[in-house]
Amino acid sequence: MGLVGNNLYQPELGAPSRLETVHCENYLWDLWHDRLDDKAMRRIGLPWSVPLMARTFTAPLGTLKTAELALNHGIACHLAGGTHHAHYDFGSGFCMVNDLAFTAHELINAGKVHNVLIFDLDVHQGDGTAAMCQHNPYIFTCSIHCEKNFPFRKVSSDLDIGLPNHIQDAEYLAIVHETLEGLLQDVNPDIVLYDAGVDVWEHDGLGKLDITWQGIEKRDALVLKTCQQYGVPVATVIGGGYDSDHLRLAKRHAIVVSQAARL
């Protein structure tokens, strides 16, 4: 609360019907009612529960609300979202529904924007987002990720940059900066949806890069400032991050919010 003051918003509660614009109806309702088979649940990797469903179906509406706030205020941050491994009719890698694909399509269909850039810096490739947006010429997907990491069968984004294991701050930040500037110039998006995954951290449980805590701070400041310089609204989602120390993990996810609060 210290970071955000009174500027705190809540999305409406989610339900399967709200996501039928981008996901398979049968999949959504089978997930909601715990009717998916064991294989499908193993692929998701989380045990089904009522609170998990509430969170899962509400988070995409939070991403949409964040994007709408960003369109009005320039920058807005979501305290969830970034479930980029969710596909049209199946979930994967702790992701069940795809908030990024949902939000991009909603904004375009509602006429709120002409085009969207999804800039995904989670350490894992954004395969679900790529698959769900590849038919839409008004959504540009970019994923900068660790090449030799999950998902091992990748789906092509509009731009993929696969990084080698153990890349360090300076090289990583240069790639992020150069790529983002190029995309803001070439794609000229009306909004950036920024997946600020913090599993690029050197001590993350599932990342394989050597990005320091300060490196993540610099990265998030860089992305936000660059969007601001180009006059493009940016909505952030937290993406991935893995740590048995949950307080430390929450602080890591808060980096992007603290960098936004400084602008």
State yes or no: residue 120 binds Zn ion (CB under 5 A): no
State yes or no: residue 240 binds Zn ion (CB under 5 A): yes
Cβ proximity to Zn ion: between 16 and 91 the closer is 91
**Rounded least distance, CB 150 to Zn ion, Å:** 8
| Contact set for Zn ion, span 23-62 (CB under 5 A) | none
Which residues neighbour 123 within 8 Å (Cβ) at sequence distance 6 or greater? 145, 146, 149, 197, 199, 200, 204, 206, 207, 208, 209, 240
Cβ proximity to Zn ion: between 169 and 199 the closer is 199
Which range binds Zn ion by CB under 5 A, 41-49, 169-177, 237-245, 251-259? 237-245
Rounded Cα–Cα distance for residues 82 and 10 (Å): 17
**Rounded least distance, CB 240 to Zn ion, Å:** 3
Rounded Cα–Cα distance for residues 258 and 262 (Å): 7
Q: Which of 68, 120, 122, 220 binds Zn ion (CB under 5 A)?
A: 122
State yes or no: residue 204 binds Zn ion (CB under 5 A): no
Number of residues that bind Zn ion (CB under 5 A): 5
| Contact set for Zn ion, span 170-199 (CB under 5 A) | 197, 199
Cβ proximity to Zn ion: between 138 and 150 the closer is 150
Sites of contact with Zn ion (CB under 5 A): 122, 124, 197, 199, 240
